[in-house]
Amino acid sequence: MQKFLLSIFIFLILTISFNSFSHEGEHHDHDESPANPPSQLESGNGWQLVRSLEMGTSGKFVHMVLIDHNVYTDKTIYSSAINRLCRNGDEFCRIRFWSEERFVPETVVLTIEQNKQLRADYLVNKSAGISHLRWSCSVDPDKSHCF
């Protein structure tokens, strides 16, 4: 019994030591407020928020999301990101999705190539009465509602 307890004790000591050294030299902002979506990057299964860009000085943001290229045709992944990044009460929410990081823009304005590689575009603007989720034809080949 003493050997068993000793082995558990050694295991715990090694685990604690490993965890404290595994983050050595890394910078962590543990005090960031999760209520500020533009400065806190979120992610979920199969997607990651790359950046949120303000539209001018409007206080409205466009979320640029990267979808795992291996599963970019799975629409449930897009829904997961939308549900996480947009709240029901939000007056405005826009998310643009890409499956290759090199095409995710650093500005709100897209280049022709970035626009071609766009996989989906989600927009809710309650004051303008707009709400849509549009798919690229590579995600949803139905020509009646893909771009």
100 within domain boundaries: yes
- Is residue 144 domain-resident? no
For residue 89, name the pLDDT band (cuts at 50, 70, 90).
confident
Predicted local confidence at residue 146, as pLDDT: 80
If one counts the domains in the chain, the total is: 1
What contacts 130, CB < 8 A, 6 or more positions away?
123, 124
Q: 147 in a domain, yes or no?
A: no
Is 142 inside a domain boundary? no
Domain extent for 120: 43-135
CATH number at 115 reads 3.30.300
Q: How confident is the model at residue 41 (pLDDT cuts 50, 70, 90)?
A: low
Q: Does the pLDDT at position 126 exceed 60? A: yes
Query: Does residue 24 lie within any of the structural domains?
Result: no
Report if residue 82 sits inside a domain: yes
Q: Is residue 36 part of a domain?
A: no
Q: Which residues of 4-14 are buried (b: 16+ CB within 10 A; e: fewer)?
A: eeeeeeeeeee
pLDDT digits (tens, 9 = 90+) for 104-115: 999 999 999 999
Are the C-beta atoms of residues 96 and 78 closer than 8 Å to each other?
no
